[in-house]
Amino acid sequence: MENTICYRLKSQPRKFDKNPPTVCYDKPEAAQVNKAEYDEKRYNAIMGDVVETLVVPKKSARTWTMEKGDLCRITICEGSQVGDMNFWNLDNTKERFYSGKTRQIHSTHLKIYDRLWSNLPYLNPMATFIFDTLKDYGIDEDGGSCHDVIGTRCDDYTYKLITGEDRFGSCHSYLTEAVKERGLTEADVHDVWNIFMCTGFTRDTQQYFCKPSPSRKGDFIEFIADMRLLVALSCCPQGDVSIAVGQFVPDEVCHPLKVEIFRKKDK
């Protein structure tokens, strides 16, 4: 008898009310920048001086600093390549980029005029995304888009979980190496902004997916620092992400990224 009841219950799936989605977070005023003001900041910085130029070699990471108001341009200088970015308040490195809250305030993939927010209890805008040559990619038919803050960086621990093999060679390990010169450690490396990467979630199983980056030589993004920043960028060893994690990635799909810092004159 008991078995019959269980069987009947299983054969009749529970019914739920269908409700329309409600966007959880009304975008706060501080998350809506004055576009004309930021376009002017961009213009003034670009018309000013290039105060630093560096190239992050493929399969490695580098750091740099920015003053408030500086503009950073990151360019695909050789071939398609994705980058993993970390940000800290230069004057207090306990304050750092919070990808999860940035995702809640804006969306899974950052668009121009979106801002990068810091962790609690600070919750300050750290930088504002201001220019993107890939902006017309939009959201594709699979829900894929560029520059996600879905959350994390490739790392050797997960690589071992998938392949069973030890390795040194991931954005997490490159970032860890790069921040040492700034007095930071592995514990300071955090979830990233995945620039130039094309990602989404599968509709049927809601799994994280990636596609080859649509970026090509000459593509670039720009952001403006909203506080004094320490920034780190890793050139992902997945290169243009045309090959799944755990499979062999040939050197030809990995490339460097060029970084330039522009500063308004007489600043």
* Segment interacting with Zn ion, rule: CB under 5 A, options 44-52, 115-123, 193-201, 232-240: 232-240
Sign of the C-alpha dihedral computed for residues 147, 148, 153 and 159 taken in this order: negative
Query: Residue 48 or residue 151: which is nearer to Zn ion going by CB?
Result: 151
Identify the residue among 76, 236, 249, 253 touching Zn ion (CB under 5 A): 236
CA dihedral 234, 253, 155, 188 (to 10 degrees): 0
* Binding pattern for the stretch 128-167 against Zn ion, x by CB under 5 A and - elsewhere: --------------------------x-------------
Q: Is the peptide bond before 256 cis (omega within 30 degrees of 0)?
A: no
Q: Does 210 bind Zn ion (CB under 5 A)?
A: no
Q: How far is the CB of 177 from Zn ion (least distance, A)?
A: 14
CB of 170 to Zn ion, least distance (A): 6
Rounded Cα distance between 224 and 230, Å, is 13
Task: For Zn ion, give the closer residue by CB, 110 or 154.
Answer: 154
Q: What span, in angstroms and rounded, lies between the C-alpha atoms of 234 and 258?
A: 11
Q: Does 171 bind Zn ion (CB under 5 A)?
A: yes
State the nearest-atom distance from the C-beta of 197 to Zn ion, in Å.
9
- Give the number of residues written for the chain: 267
Span between the terminal Cα atoms of the chain, in Å: 83
- Give me the least distance between CB of 82 and Zn ion, in Å please: 7
Residue with tokens 């668009």: 111
Determine the interface stretch with Zn ion among 3-11, 46-54, 229-237, 252-260 (rule: CB under 5 A).
Answer: 229-237
How many angstroms separate the CA atoms of 109 and 208, rounded?
13
Binders of Zn ion among residues 11 to 70 (CB under 5 A) are none
Nearer to Zn ion by Cβ, of 128 and 213: the residue is 213
Q: Which is nearer to Zn ion, 200 or 239 (CB)?
A: 239
CB of 75 to Zn ion, least distance (A): 19
Backbone torsions φ then ψ of 164, nearest 5 degrees: 80, 0
Q: How far apart are CA 13 and CA 106, in angstroms?
A: 36
Shortest Cβ 236–Zn ion spacing (Å): 3
Cβ nearer to Zn ion, comparing 95 with 240: 240
Q: Is residue 261 a contact point for Zn ion (CB under 5 A)?
A: no
Structure tokens at 183: 């007095």
User: Looking at beta carbons only, is 221 or 236 nearer to Zn ion?
Assistant: 236
CB distance 197 to 210 below 8 Å: yes
In 3D, which of 106, 107, 113, 111 has the Cα closest to residue 127? 113
CB of 208 to Zn ion, least distance (A): 13
Cβ distance to Zn ion smaller for residue 126 or 171: 171
Q: Are the CB atoms for 165 and 205 separated by under 8 Å?
A: no
Question: Which residues would be at the binding site for Zn ion (CB under 5 A)?
Answer: 154, 171, 236
